[in-house]
Structure 1
Amino acid sequence: MNIVFDLDGTLIDSAPDIQAVAADILNGLGKAPLSLEEVRSFVGEGAGVLVSRMMNAREIPETPARHAEIYGQFVARYESAVDLAVFYPGVVDALAVLKAQGHRLGLCTNKPELPARAVMRHMGLDPVFDVVIAGGMVASRKPDPEMLHVCIAELGGGPTLYVGDSETDAQTARAAAVPFALYTEGYRKSPVAEMPHDWAFDHFDRLQEIVREARARQTAAE
């Protein structure tokens, strides 16, 4: 079975790294840093949207040229901002078990490709994933389903479970017609009950059971 994961807010909490990058840029502009709560609420729809939200939150006029300038600064720093990211509880063990069971694992993230690959290397995730689709690798970004469809195709097609934490991930799964497991302890902004999902879980110890249930559903549908 294919199991495709979002990255930020699902497998790792990267908000402290993003906060540090944003603080460096905002300090140079004479603006106050973002709080962790603000950062977590801004994450999920790609670095460009995050920069727009950061500019709006600190009343920085957003012209195309100004956005491009700050976005360029952000991405340049973001690529090497990996030291503060941490795994959510149970992630490492869950990924190891799923890999050992022969599941094909994919990563589908709006995080730009270079920062995504940098944090994967830093955290030892490179050998875990068979396919990585990150921001900029296809023409669109989540919640457009194209990224997820490409990831599934590169995994070889077939039954797939998508695991994510946010409204964007829930919308992506629905648009792609893929079963969705919602990790409730990430960056979501809405109540769980208001987000479309097939399963919800608050610790990765539960994921193996969800995968078994997803496989059983698929078998029953065949």
Structure 2
Amino acid sequence: MILIFDLDGTLIDSVPDIHKTSNEVLAAEGLGPLDLPTVRSFIGRGVPHLVERLLGAHGIADPARVARMISAFGARYEDAVALTRPYDGAPEALAALAAQGHVLGICTNKPVAPARAVLRHLGLLDHFAAIIGGDSAPQRKPDPEPLHLAIAACGGGPALYIGDSEVDATCAAAAGVAMILHTEGYRHSAPEALPHVALFDDFAALPGIVAELASDRAGQQALA
């Protein structure tokens, strides 16, 4: 089976690095810093959305300034890895899932180069057959195209998406792919408000969940 993972809020807690980078970009514009919970609430729809929200928090709507700050953010983003950590048990779960014979991929709204950089920094890059980022297709999640691309890049076939947010849930539903929800990520809604076939808060449980869905007839129907 193909298992496609979201990245930020699903496999890794990257908020500290994104928060730091956001405030560096704001400072370069002469704007004050924002607190971590505020920046965290902006994560999930890609860098352009994040930058628009950063400026919006200061009461600014200026397309030229947005474009300049997107460029400045991008210049810093690939090196923004020092404060990012995998969720507890995530590396071990990835190894176990690969050992079960599953093909693993990434579908994230983070641009590809920073996604590869942080996975490389954390020693996780070699687990993944394909990485689709926010700059890999004309549309970002929640549009289903990036998820379809990720599945195709992993060889095509039955797939599950593992994500943490409303964006991921909407994307999976639009793509017709069942989702496993990581409940310790960056979502804003209650877990029961998001469509999912299973949920987990501990990565130690994920290999068993996947094995059950892969072998159980009801799980197979959910993936159809």
TM-score between both structures, scaled by the size of structure 2: 0.94
SS at match of 1:110: coil
Deviations 1:85-128 (CA, angstroms, capped at 9, x unpaired): 00111101100111112110000000011111111111112211
Partners of 1:120 and 1:62 in 2: CA distance: 33
Unaligned runs of 5+ in 2: none
Distance in structure 2 (CA, Å) of the matches to 1:203 and 1:36:
24
Q: Which residue of 2 aligns with 1:40?
A: 40
Aligned equivalents of 2:178 and 2:106: distance in 1?
15
* Contact 1:161-1:214 within 8 A present in 2 as well: no
Q: Distance in 2 between matches of 1:3 and 1:78?
A: 26
Number of aligned residue pairs: give it. Answer: 221
Q: Report the equivalent of 1:25.
A: 25
Match of 1:92 in 2: 91
Q: Which residue of structure 1 aligns with residue 53 of structure 2?
A: 53
Aligned partners of 2:94 and 2:115: how far apart in 1? 17
2:220 and 2:179 map into 1 onto residues whose CA distance is 17
Structure 2 vs 1, CA of residues 14 and 220 (structure 1 numbering), >3 Å: closer, same or farther? Answer: closer
Q: CA offset at residue 141 of structure 1?
A: 0.7
The 8 Å contact of residues 110 and 134 in structure 2, kept in 1 or not, is answered as yes
More off after superposition, 23-32 vs 152-161: 23-32
Identity of aligned residues (%): 51
Offset at 1:220?
A: 5.2
1:160 & 1:58 partners in 2: Cα distance? 41
Preserved CA contact (<8 Å) 2:178 2:197 = yes
Q: Give the SS at the match of 2:184.
A: coil
- C-alpha contact 1:185 1:202 (8 A) present in aligned 2: yes
Question: For the residues of structure 2 that align with 1:27 and 1:91, how far apart are their CA atoms?
Answer: 34
Q: CA–CA distance in 2 between the matches of 1:80 and 1:152?
A: 28
The aligned counterpart of 2:182 is: 183
How far the C-alpha of 1:16 sits from its partner, in A, is: 0.4
Query: Could you tell me which amino acid in structure 2 is paired with residue 23 of structure 1?
Result: N
**Structure 1 unmatched runs, 5+:** none
Deviations 1:22-59 (A, max 9, x none): 11122233332122211221100000000001111122
Separation of aligned partners in 2, 1:142 and 1:17: 21
Deviation at 1:159, TM superposition (A): 1.1
How well do the aligned residues superpose, as a CA RMSD in angstroms? 1.4
1:57-206 map, 5 Å: 57-59=57-59, 61-206=60-205
Change (3 A) 1:58 1:220: closer
CA contact (8 A) 2:213 2:220 kept: no
Other structure's SS at 2:146 match: helix
Match of residue 3 from structure 1: 3
Q: Is the 8 A contact 1:162 1:181 kept in 2?
A: yes
